[in-house]
Amino acid sequence: MQAPGVLALVGAGEYLTGMADIDRYLLSTLNVSKAKVVVMPTAAAQEEDYMKWAYMGLSHFQRLGADVEAALVVDHESANDPHNAELVKSADLVYMSGGDPRYLLYTLKGSQVWESILEVYGRGGVVAGCSAGAMIMGKYVRARGAPGADPATLWLPGLDLVPNVVIMPHFDRVPEERLKLMLENLPIDAAALGIDEHTVILGSNQEWQVRGKGKVAVMTGGETLTYRSGQNFELPWPI
């Protein structure tokens, strides 16, 4: 893979008016006259009205002046459809909206569409994920576990575009007791990265910048470091 592009991890709020400035900035990082954007509602594919996320993405990026299409990747079969793979590969910016992170992970893992996403990133494009779309890019994704389950079974291997972290979106809405439980069961080789709603971190590898209304928290070894819009920070590398 060549020098990487930009990853955008969004806590929540995809395609809403309050995110327009952030997405306009993402488009400005691309060295093209008119950016090609592909939106993917995959994480919500099990919902009856999942197409609303495609329509919202189309409308949002059209308003920002981009050439935008939706890749209707809804299951593993469509994630391996050559047409979808080529469509995604043609993008300058790929945007994965929210929903069920486990379903998104299982759908994309090992697929042709995921290989296309990696190609976009590898040639200097932008790969953006909101909520579930951000979660799958970490080293682990929280699994559904029964009460009293072995903590080792509560985490699934993520797609590891952001190594050594577990990504926690909607961070400003996570109840304190739930956060405490998650941190107690965090894999020993990962830090926790909390991202508030209407907030994004942009970067790749170690170096990141915060933009948006809220804060970002990096939690590791009992220490929490907090960053706000305009601040730069580095993620632990390695743990």
Which position has the higher pLDDT, 238 or 190? 190
**pLDDT tens readout for residues 165-199:** 999 999 999 999 989 988 988 998 999 999 999 99
Residue 211's DSSP bridge partners are 200
* pTM score, whole prediction: 0.94
**Model confidence at 48: pLDDT above 60:** yes
Q: What is the pLDDT of residue 53?
A: 98
* pLDDT of 37 over the 50 cut: yes
Indicate the pairing of strand 215-220 with strand 67-70: unpaired
All domains in the chain, ordered by first residue: 6-234 (3.40.50.880)
- pLDDT at residue 1, as a whole number: 42
Stretch 88-115: mean pLDDT, rounded? 97
In terms of Cβ atoms closer than 10 Å to its own Cβ (0-12, 13-18, 19+), residue 18 is: exposed
What percent of the chain lies above the pLDDT cut of 90? 81
91 pLDDT more than 50: yes
Greatest Cα-to-Cα distance within the chain, rounded to the nearest angstrom? 54
Averaged pLDDT for residues 43-56: 97
| Reported confidence tier of residue 225, pLDDT bands at 50, 70, 90 | very high
